[in-house]
Chain A
Amino acid sequence: MPGLEDLYREIILDHYRTPRNRGELAPPAVRAEGHNPLCGDEIQVYLDVKDGVVSDIKIGGQGCSISQSSASMMSAAVKGKSVDEIRNLVRRFKHMMSIEEEDETAPPLDESKPLGDLEALRGVVKFPVRIKCATLAWNTLLDGLSQSN
């Protein structure tokens, strides 16, 4: 049985204690909302998308340490990045969470850049029930990006 230290890494607890990019963005920013129907966690992702770049992102909602820290790390990782880079990052993150690609025609993953803090969430795979917690923010981000198109 994997130990709690595999799941609750210090960097995860740090993002949970001190979440980055909390708040809201006023329209015309995109607002996407995600729910985990099993546990009741909810999240709002606000995106300012200008010229194909996410110039600002804010996170609202409440949830467990894994969903909140994942959202916080995600916000830090995508801010200032291009939509294409972000879509690649979402795929890499889901790959790390052992989630199979749905789109077989997708371009090959670019794994040249390090995942940074996000690596800390790799241990979540050992706790399959929690994978949904970790991916909630990312699926909501995808929803927001689709809206911004």
Chain B
Amino acid sequence: MTFDPAVIKKDFPLLEREINGKPVVYLDSANTSQKPRQVIDAMSRFMETSYAPINRSAYQLAAESTDAFEGARAAVRRFINAPRVNEVVFTKNATEALNLVAHSWGGANLRAGDAVVLTHMEHHANIVPWHMLAAERGIELRWVPLTADGQLDLTNLPKLLDGAKVLSFTAMSNVLGTLTPVKQLVDAAHAAGAIAIVDGCQYVPHNPTDVQAWGADFLAFSSHKLCGPSGIGVLWGRESLLDAMPPFLGGGNMIADVRLDGFSCAELPAKFEAGTPPITEAIGMHAAIGYLSALGMGNIRAHEADIAAYAINTLKARYGDDITIHGPTDPAVRGATLSFQFKNVHPHDVSQVLDQANVCVRAGHHCAKPLMKLLGSNATARASFYIYNSTADADALADALANAGDLFGF
């Protein structure tokens, strides 16, 4: 099967929509992705036929619901090649997954003066939980800097990692599109005696993921960026680490026993899944993983490298020095997430003008304010491409940008 975004697009009902008689050009998938009919149908069918509580009741419907929920967990395990299914913890989103690790693992293992190494391209979700821990117990935060073209500058990595307990980093920048050398970073962390936490929120939806090949210790990602519903995310962690960690949220489902004088925790993964989980959302995420896997994660990656190259070349050919595209230009080390500055037009105004052509891009700081500061601006416009975007969408972006130049080109 050839990978044809025009055919794939037909699976996405929202992308059939027209606004003011013109089609929607959705270039905001790094923010959140659109949903294929297969995911929408799976969730509707489940609610129409099998929805019931999980892990609590003995009747047939409850057993069916529990099986479906655990089926989703098994699908996630295969999708990221995790060794064991009980290492897959469902969370609300990737942000909660990272908070879980910082709070639970960090709370149990980090003391005043211990160092946590982050990078300058992290999302706030991989910065603020560590700031919170620093405020609480005085840990030290260290930062891997960037090269001029928006890759990690690993020159001083061994020094940064010297004596550190944690290296927590993104596998793909949500602003620059940069793919980071995950295996190399994990190995460096382990060589220094630190654990390696991978923020896979941007990477996992767009690339083949193999946590065993990486040798990582934790991986966080969300469903809504990989064509699944919002409201569910994943923390994968090594069983030995998860087992030794204290629970995060307390409540139903996460306990083995509760007495007046205390409680004991359930086994993994229930220990980290307090309360009724996002059940229908897990079914939707399972369908999304099935959908992406049928397309082939390798094919998806190849498509996005192609479209990143096409979009960069098209925009540069048309606008030359009037457009600055942040991050690497080599498609081998980047995904199809392009942050750019167009002439001296503020990103908010760029986005407003593009909206007249139904071209949907994000304008703002992308929840990465430290990185914005490095780029020397408060905001960028960001166009991000996915499986349903074709070269025609890159052309539509380039065409619509001309209007911003006409209005603000002074």
Contacts and interface: CB of A to CB of B under 8 A. Distances in A.
Interface of A: 1, 3-4, 7-8, 13, 17, 38-42, 62-68, 127, 130, 133
B263 interface: no
Q: Is the interface of A mostly helix, strand, loop or mixed?
A: mixed
Nearest to B346: A64
B325 to A, nearest CB: 19
B316 interface: no
Contacts of A42: 378
Interface stretch (B284-292, B297-305, B363-371): B363-371
A41 B353 CA distance: 18
B365 A7 contact: no
A35 B206 CA distance: 33
A39 B379 contact: yes
27 contacts: A1-B20, A1-B356, A4-B356, A4-B403, A4-B407, A13-B408, A38-B364, A39-B348, A39-B364, A39-B365, A39-B378, A39-B379, A40-B378, A41-B378, A62-B377, A63-B348, A63-B378, A64-B347, A65-B346, A65-B348, A65-B349, A66-B348, A66-B349, A67-B348, A68-B346, A130-B348, A133-B348
A7 B352 contact: yes
A62 B352 contact: no
A127 B352 CA distance: 9
Question: Which are the 8 A-B pairs with shortest beta-carbon distances?
Answer: A64-B348, A40-B365, A40-B378, A64-B346, A39-B364, A40-B379, A65-B349, A1-B20
Nearest to B364: A39
Given A8-B407, A39-B379, A63-B346, A1 B19 contact: yes
Nearest to B363: A39
Contact of A40 (B353, B369, B403, B407): B369
B249 to A, nearest CB: 26
Nearest to B348: A64
B408 to A, nearest CB: 7
Contacts of A67: 348
B372 interface: yes
Given A3-B356, A4-B352, A63-B378, 17 more contacts: A4-B356, A4-B403, A7-B352, A39-B363, A39-B364, A39-B365, A40-B364, A62-B377, A63-B346, A64-B346, A64-B347, A65-B349, A65-B408, A66-B349, A127-B352, A130-B348, A130-B352
Interface in B349-388: 349, 352-353, 356, 363-365, 369, 372, 377-379
B378 A62 contact: yes
B352 A40 contact: no
Given A64-B349, A127-B352, A17 B364 contact: no
Contacts of B379: 39-41
B59 interface: no
Interface centre among A3, A7, A68 (most CB of B within 10 A): A7
A17 B348 contact: no
Contacts of A64: 346-349
Contacts of A17: 410
A17 B379 CA distance: 19
B410 to A, nearest CB: 6
A42 B373 CA distance: 13
Contacts of A8: 349, 407
Nearest to A65: B349
Contacts of A13: 407-408
A4 B353 contact: yes
A4 B403 CA distance: 10
Contacts of B352: 4, 7, 127, 130
Interface string B332-358: 000000000000001111001100100
A17 to B, nearest CB: 6
Contacts of B19: 1
A79 to B, nearest CB: 25
Nearest to B380: A40
A42 B353 CA distance: 22
Contacts of B348: 39, 41, 63-67, 130, 133
